[in-house]
Chain A
């Protein structure tokens, strides 16, 4: 259950899903400050009074293309402190890449199906609000299957990649340990190795940087 009450702007053009999402968030004790049905209104509302988190659909009116995603990128550029959780109807890394281009965290990209797993969805929301990065396991699975022969990830062992994939999903060490059926100490060791091999800058949140490196391939 949520650690704090978030103020949220919800952008979703389907009334059915908007109501469903609002009731889930409401139940969890968050404040759905505004519910909007198109990208322009979303931008206007957010600029007027920035919320903690924006939850937006990818496909929105007027063009029913990727207006929601573009609005998210615009918000990220103007107001980097706002957490952004993008909900998509399909696994498509074309959408994710354009989202990651400017970002350093506070971003989530989930399939809409995940919303039905209420507890996990709310946890993901909290992580995004806290500046973490959450990527749908399905997307992670696809990215994992891809070209690993080049780039910074080549140095990682399969086990380390597995750990990194779970990090990308937004899991904390305890959750990763549970998932892989190993001790938390072992996970910490893997994470340390990953940071070392990817040569991440200590100044940034290394966990987030590692995930971003991973997602950018």
Chain B
């Protein structure tokens, strides 16, 4: 059985009393006592001090620091709530924008709604939660400890436990056996309820709200998108460098060698120049292939359809193209789509034993859809050396998906979907 993630699940389980949950509850409630006392002392202390100092402005400045104080207490409390909530409480605070000074960062945090909520929680903790925790957990722990010690205490002294009076160690032992388990059971359930309620309150006040969750998700997507974008820019830069630099020089070299061939008489010297010429051409051909793999020029100049057509033309099997995409899409999307198609077609050529293949592309409700279907043997499994894995990550960052349907015996059908716009 899977272990429960919250005390509520645990309370419903028949194994509650022998699980760690009663002890977690004790730990949570008892640690809230020093935390609550500390919060109220700090809050009242600072409030008093700022009231005292308000005539000289510093006091007012101190008041503005209250939300930060709340945020600090919130930070500790979110960690403490981990005692009761196995998954913890995630932070409601936004990622700080880059390039802020320390002062600006503090201002940013101070103005966040989450900081105000944390401040509110700090007051509740300081005024209400810790006395309740102290009362229930404290009394319960005392009774439990006393009951455990009853045989020893009653041995020397007469001791009164509620309506009972214990005179001897034997009576103490009887009391321990009869009363102890019952008390432990009842108090454990009660404490579990109280600790669970407090942790739920902490989560409600210190955890992220719906819009904060959405914002965090958007931030995550944005940062991944930036990464893809940077990657794309770098590829384009390398391509340009090779194309405008290295390739031109090699072409220049072949021209010079071509002229030299004309001037040289038949013989060993000429033979070597012809050989050098052939080698320079082979290097150029290799370079062209490499540049295409980095970032095909046709994609930049003529868009996805033209670039896909070039790939299709290089295939050893006939590839039918059905494209109805008129507009140009953002560069990272075109690039991702291009590399998906080119990888898919390479796979078809290598593994599928297909006789023909069809690539279709269209836009459906602001989403780019591309399918690649062959009539091959199937049995392709995505992520298994198909080279598509990296592309899935890239598509994911763009908000897109890639599905491969390839039953044994075929055919293989690959479908890529991606929003036509970057971002949300």
A residues adjacent to B (C-beta < 8 A): 14, 16-17, 20-21, 23-24, 27, 59, 64-66, 89-95, 112-113, 115-119, 121, 142-143, 145-149
Q: State the Cβ distance, A209 to closest chain B Cβ, in Å.
A: 23
Write out the residue numbers on chain B whose beta carbons fall within 8 Å of the beta carbon of A64: 240, 244
In Å, the complex CA distance between A162 and B247 comes to: 31
CA of A93 to CA of B309 in the docked complex: distance in angstroms? Answer: 9
Contact of A115 among B255, B262, B306, B319 (CB under 8 A): B255
A65–B300 CB distance below 8 A: yes
B306: A residues at CB distance < 8 A = 92, 94
Count of A-B contacts with CB under 8 A?
99
Among B261, B284, B316, the residue within 8 A (CB) of A145 is B316
User: What is the distance, in angstroms, from B97's C-beta to the closest C-beta of chain A?
Assistant: 35
From the candidates A94, A115, A142, name the one contacting B251 in the complex (CB within 8 A): A115
Categorize the interface residue count of chain B.
35 or more
State A157–B257 Cα separation when bound (angstroms): 39
A89 contact from B243, B257, B310, B314, Cβ within 8 A: B243
Measured in the bound complex, the distance between the Cα atoms of B313 and A92 in whole Å is: 10
Which single residue of chain A is at the shortest CB-CB distance from B298?
A92
Q: Which residues of B contact A148 (CB under 8 A)?
A: 318
Residue of A nearest to B280 (CB): A116
Q: Can you give 7 contacting A-B residue pairs, CB < 8 Å?
A: A90-B291, A92-B306, A94-B307, A95-B298, A118-B259, A143-B313, A147-B320
- Contact at A24–B252, with CB atoms within 8 Å? no
Given contacts A89-B251, A94-B310, A118-B259, 10 further A-B contacts (CB under 8 A): A27-B259, A92-B302, A94-B302, A94-B309, A95-B301, A113-B281, A116-B251, A116-B280, A142-B313, A146-B312
Given A66-B301, A115-B258, A117-B258: A90 in contact with B292 (beta carbons within 8 A): yes
Residue of B nearest to A23 (CB): B259
Residues of B within 8 A of A112 (CB): 251
| Cα–Cα distance between A173 and B262 once the two chains are bound (Å) | 26
A-contact bits for B239-257, CB 8 A (1 contact / 0 none): 0100110011101101111
Nearest-neighbor residue (CB-CB) of A142 within chain B: B313
Determine whether the beta carbon of B255 is less than 8 Å from that of A90: no
Q: Is there an interface contact between B243 and A116, defined as CB atoms closer than 8 Å? A: no
From known contacts A66-B301, A89-B243, A147-B320, infer whether A116 and B313 are also in contact, taking CB-CB under 8 Å.
no
Docked-complex contact B255 and A20, CB < 8 angstroms: yes
Majority DSSP secondary structure for residues of B touching A: helix
B residues near A23, Cβ cutoff 8 Å: 259
Q: Is the CB of A118 within 8 A of B262?
A: yes
Q: A20-B252, A65-B300 are in contact. Are A90 and B257 (CB under 8 A)?
A: no
Contact A94 B247 (CB under 8 A): no
Q: How far is the CA of A164 from the CA of B198 in the complex (A)?
A: 85
Query: Does B215 sit at the interface, judged by CB under 8 A?
Result: no
| Any A CB within 8 A of the CB of B277 | yes
Q: Give B89 Cβ to nearest chain A Cβ, in Å.
A: 53
10 closest Cβ contacts across the A-B interface?
A116-B254, A116-B258, A94-B306, A20-B255, A94-B302, A118-B258, A16-B252, A112-B251, A92-B298, A142-B313
Which residues of B pack against A, CB within 8 Å?
240, 243-244, 247-249, 251-252, 254-259, 261-262, 277, 280-281, 284-285, 288, 291-292, 297-298, 300-302, 306-307, 309-310, 312-316, 318-320
Inter-chain CA distance A143–B319, complex, in Å, is 13
Q: What chain B residues lie within 8 Å of A145 (beta carbons)?
A: 313-316
On chain B, the residues within 8 Å of A121 by CB distance are 258
A115 B254 Cβ-Cβ under 8 A: yes
> Chain B residues with Cβ under 8 A from A142's Cβ?
313-314
- Shortest beta-carbon distance, B28 to chain A, in Å? 65
B254 near A113: Cβ-Cβ < 8 Å: yes
Point out the residues of chain A lying under 8 angstroms from B312, CB to CB. 146
Contacting pair B259 A94 (CB below 8 A): no
Q: Which residues of B contact A89 (CB under 8 A)?
A: 243, 247, 251, 288, 297
Please determine whether A17 and B298 come into contact, CB atoms closer than 8 angstroms.
no
Most buried by A among B247, B252, B309: B252
Contact A90 B288 (CB under 8 A): yes
A124 to B173 Cα, complex, angstroms: 113
Complex: A16 Cα to B251 Cα, angstroms = 9
B341: min CB distance to chain A, Å: 15
Chain B residue numbers with a CB within 8 Å of A66 are 301-302
Q: How far is the CA of A43 from the CA of B75 in the complex (A)?
A: 69
Scoring A90, A116, A117 by chain B CB atoms within 10 A of each residue's CB, the highest score goes to A116
Considering the chains assembled together, what is the distance between the CA atoms of A112 and B262 in angstroms?
Answer: 18
Q: How far is the CA of A118 from the CA of B161 in the complex (A)?
A: 113
Asked if residues B249 and A16 are in contact (CB atoms below 8 Å), the reply is yes
- The 8 Å CB contact of A24, one of B244, B255, B297, B302, is B255
Contact: A24 with B258, CB < 8 Å?
Answer: yes
Alpha-carbon gap, A149 to B284, bound state (A): 33
Interchain nearest-CB distance for B321 vs A (Å): 9
Q: Which residues of B contact A143 (CB under 8 A)?
A: 313
Tell me which of A118, A119, A142 has the highest count of chain B C-beta atoms within 10 A of its own C-beta: A118
Known: A17-B248, A93-B310. A116 touches B281 (CB 8 A): yes
A residues near B284, Cβ cutoff 8 Å: 113
Which residue in chain B gives the minimum CB-CB distance to A143? Answer: B313
In the complex formed, the residue of A with least CB distance to B289 is A90
A112 vs B313: C-alpha distance in the bound complex, in angstroms?
20
A121–B318 alpha-carbon span in the complex (Å): 32
Determine the residue in chain A with the shortest Cβ distance to B288. Answer: A90
Task: Return B265 CB to nearest CB of chain A, in Å.
Answer: 16
Cα A64 to Cα B240 in complex, Å, equals 10
Instruction: Flag if A17 contacts B252 (CB, 8 Å).
Output: yes
Complex contacts, A27 vs chain B, CB 8 Å: 259, 262
User: CA separation between A116 and B259, bound complex, in Å?
Assistant: 7
User: What A residues does B316 contact at CB under 8 A?
Assistant: 145
Chain A residues, CB < 8 A from B314: 142, 145
Q: Is the CB of A17 within 8 A of B251?
A: yes
